[in-house]
Amino acid sequence: MDRLDNTIRPYAWGSTTAIPQLLGVEPTGEPQAEMWMGAHPGAPSRTDRGTLVDVIAADPERELGAAAVAKFGPTLPFLLKILAAGAPLSLQVHPNLEQAKEGYADEERRGIPVDAPHRNYKDANHKPELICALTEFDGLCGFRDPNEAADLLDGLGVDSLKPYVDLLHAHPEDAALREVLTAVLTADREEMARTVAEATAACSRLGGAYAPYADLAHHYPGDPGVIAAMLLNHVRLQPGEALYLGAGIPHAYLDGLGVEIMANSDNVLRCGLTPKHVDVPELLRIVRFEPSDPGVLRPEASPDGEEVYETPIDEFRLSRFVLPEGGASHDLTRPTPQILLCTAGSVRAGEHELKPGQSVFVPAGERAEVAGTGTLFRATVVA
């Protein structure tokens, strides 16, 4: 197996302290948002044999296993991250596989450069994802019941929000949600900025359930995404709890440290809380306008001590082992590729001693025995 040397991405929303604290190093003072583990060409992990992209390309079947190559192609189908949100991320949604293929092909035909700021589809893949909290973790996930959203907006006492309140009481629910989100995102920017300012003042005064939106407005004053965010469920995960985010589900991470895994894609359509491009027509085509419970996941324990976060897709499978002091070793050998990540304590994986934030890549079929005291996450595929 290969010890991984991973890139930390310095996005502006990143915490300045959470990843350094996990790694046991001094903060640099700069934001450290995500540590990437995998073979994404944007920031592939490095090994003694070269980048993980190069290692896999040299012999895909040896590294990934014949079954994974047959199912997903000659690339690692997932990207594992440690994510540290010190400020809210953009309100966003991801396409399904068919939408991603169509959107990518269309933008290729139109000759839009892949790095153009107005480009929506960077690749032809979907991007389902799972976030598992390492600390308390706040996020927004999926639409509230429209009546609940109406009550939340109405409670602000802002006259310019009254039309949205009325629309949310209309039927059917999906049409009501679509009409309100469309109206918010296409409203006159100056008028919407005034509405957001009034709503922000009310959120700050009322506190409680309104506090998260006051914080959003602090980071993104006047942004229509502040109102759009109030249509979504607010979720606070406890350590070990997770959220699965499928195609078309609007969401945003607000604050906290977590382990994130996703299909190996970078396709994002933004709804707000961002200075970046918002393609409203394409966004409205992708979003699933249906109220839903955010569906907090807790791991399912198996007799061998593996705790699995069940999801409906095959590109990734995330689980964890909480290894007690003096416990037995575990044989994690699988016919599929794996990344093992330590997040607490000290875990020995093969010949590698892993401290928090350290990880290894285990080729398909490679013997993988682990022991120690701490928490180990395992990322692999279903093939």
The catalytic site residues sit at 270
| Residue 41: φ, ψ to 5° | -60, -20
Q: What amino acid is encoded at 22 in this protein?
A: L
- CB count within 10 Å of CB 188 equals 9
- CB count within 10 Å of CB 351 equals 8
Name which of 96, 95, 123 is nearest 108 in CA terms: 123
In whole angstroms, give the CA distance from residue 206 to residue 209.
8
Number of H helices, E strands in the chain: 12, 21
Q: Which residues pair with 250 in a beta bridge?
A: none
3-state secondary structure of 85: strand
- CB count within 10 Å of CB 360 equals 25
List of residues 6+ apart from 172 with CB closer than 8 A: none
Angstrom distances, CA of residue 382 to CA of 65, 112, 317:
12, 34, 7
List of residues 6+ apart from 36 with CB closer than 8 A: 6, 7, 9, 42, 43, 44, 45, 79, 80, 81
Residue 281 host element (H or E)? helix 280-286
Name which of 248, 245, 243 is nearest 100 in CA terms: 248
